[in-house]
Chains A and B, each alone.
Chain A
Amino acid sequence: MTHSYPLALSRRVLRILIKLNLLFGVLILALLVTSVVVEEPVMRALGAGSPEANAKLYLGMRLVAVIGLAGVPLVHFLLTRLLAIVDTVRDGNPFVMANAARLQRIAWAVLILELMHLAVAVIAAAVSTAAAPFDISRRFSLTPWLAVLLLFVLARVFEQGARMREELEGTV
């Protein structure tokens, strides 16, 4: 067993993030439902103006909320896999095939999340007007795409590591 402060901290942070993600999911869902039930006050509070003049913006905002909602299970999946990897590090045996598979799944999850991010940017650009701007982060960043690439490479590194570890275990 490996006990270290960064490891314990990572586990705590991941556990908090898992709960926060679920909380965000509930909040997005609540916002989406209230925006349908009491449309005008909610949309005005969000700075979207009147429903007559901003139908496209309303639709765009709801679409973004739906994408955000779809991202919640994906982020949950990603964080729980990451926690499982950290747990194997704590147990002293991270080079196992299961971790290689987990890393690969995390890479796919990050890739899908980035595509969702791109979709949000496209929607925001499509519905935003000078009178009613839809201000949402839509600056393109290379870092997450590099992270995806790195994760796929790391998954292969873990696969090799697991194979070497298996061989070493049978060596006397």
Chain B
Amino acid sequence: MAIIVTLDDMLHQRRMTLTELSEQIGITLANLSILKTGKARAIRFSTLEAICEALQCQPGDLLAFASASEAGKEVA
């Protein structure tokens, strides 16, 4: 997908695990895992808000856009 979720990098920067984030914002680990691995098809504003609040970051720190060709190169 052209939208890349950079939650993993942000967690790394904040020295936080996915489990800790899950406990803090009340979203299941399974759902956060789906988001982290880029398997999610959509994200709610409320989820984005909760993650930004917990990680003290902006939505742009969690999401990035790569055109389809760039994304293809990354995979290759």
Contacts and interface: CB of A to CB of B under 8 A. Distances in A.
Residue among A167, A169, A170, A172 with the highest chain B CB neighbour number at 10 A: A172
Interface string A157-172: 0000000000101111
B19 interface: no
B44 interface: yes
A170 B34 CA distance: 8
Contact of B44 (A167, A169, A172): A172
Contacts of A172: 27, 31-32, 34-35, 40, 42-44, 47
Interface residues of B, number: 12
Nearest to B42: A171
B59 to A, nearest CB: 14
Nearest to B47: A172
Contacts of B31: 172
Interface string B28-54: 000110110001111110010000000
Contacts of A171: 40-44
Contacts of B40: 170-172
Contacts of A170: 34, 39-42
A149 B58 CA distance: 51
Contacts of B32: 172
Given A167-B42, A171-B42, 20 more contacts: A167-B41, A169-B41, A170-B34, A170-B39, A170-B40, A170-B41, A170-B42, A171-B40, A171-B41, A171-B43, A171-B44, A172-B27, A172-B31, A172-B32, A172-B34, A172-B35, A172-B40, A172-B43, A172-B44, A172-B47
Interface of B: 27, 31-32, 34-35, 39-44, 47
Interface of A: 167, 169-172
23 contacts: A167-B41, A167-B42, A169-B41, A170-B34, A170-B39, A170-B40, A170-B41, A170-B42, A171-B40, A171-B41, A171-B42, A171-B43, A171-B44, A172-B27, A172-B31, A172-B32, A172-B34, A172-B35, A172-B40, A172-B42, A172-B43, A172-B44, A172-B47
